[in-house]
Amino acid sequence: MTESHAQPTIELIGFALSDCIVDVAPQHTKYLRAVHRTALELAVPNQFGAEIGGFWLMADQIDQLRRLSEFYPATEAESVRAVIETYLNAQLRETCVPEHGSGASQSGSCRF
């Protein structure tokens, strides 16, 4: 008899937007500003009450943010998609690992 062991499933349901450093190529800075503004517009304020506070991006809002590139010309859409993923990774990195100094290079880095 073999026993099947169910692997625990971890699913990201959301995170609070925080100050973070996002490293992008200088030519992508214009997209980063649009991605950040859109994230703030989509975020739910005080999702878990005023005591916790913050602007929260939940899974649905993250999916909406990822669709932002559909509103750009085909020549720019791939750059926008890359910036969105870089932005989300930076947000998650800040949420999961406290920043210990800035390891980001000054060229192409933006703090939000």
pLDDT number for residue 34: 96
pLDDT exceeds 60 at position 47: yes
Which of these ranges, 32-36, 72-76, 84-88, 98-102, has the smallest mean pLDDT?
98-102
pLDDT tens digits along 13-39? 788 898 889 999 999 999 999 999 999
- Strand-by-strand arrangement of the 14-16 sheet: 14-16, 55-58, 44-45
pLDDT exceeds 60 at position 102: no
pLDDT grade, residue 106 (50/70/90)? very low
pLDDT exceeds 70 at position 110: no
> For 83, phi and psi rounded to 5 degrees?
-65, -40
Which ranges of 43-73 does DSSP label H, i.e. alpha helix? 59-66
Provide, for the chain, the percentages of residues in helix, strand and coil under a 3-state DSSP scheme, each rounded to the nearest 5: 45, 15, 40
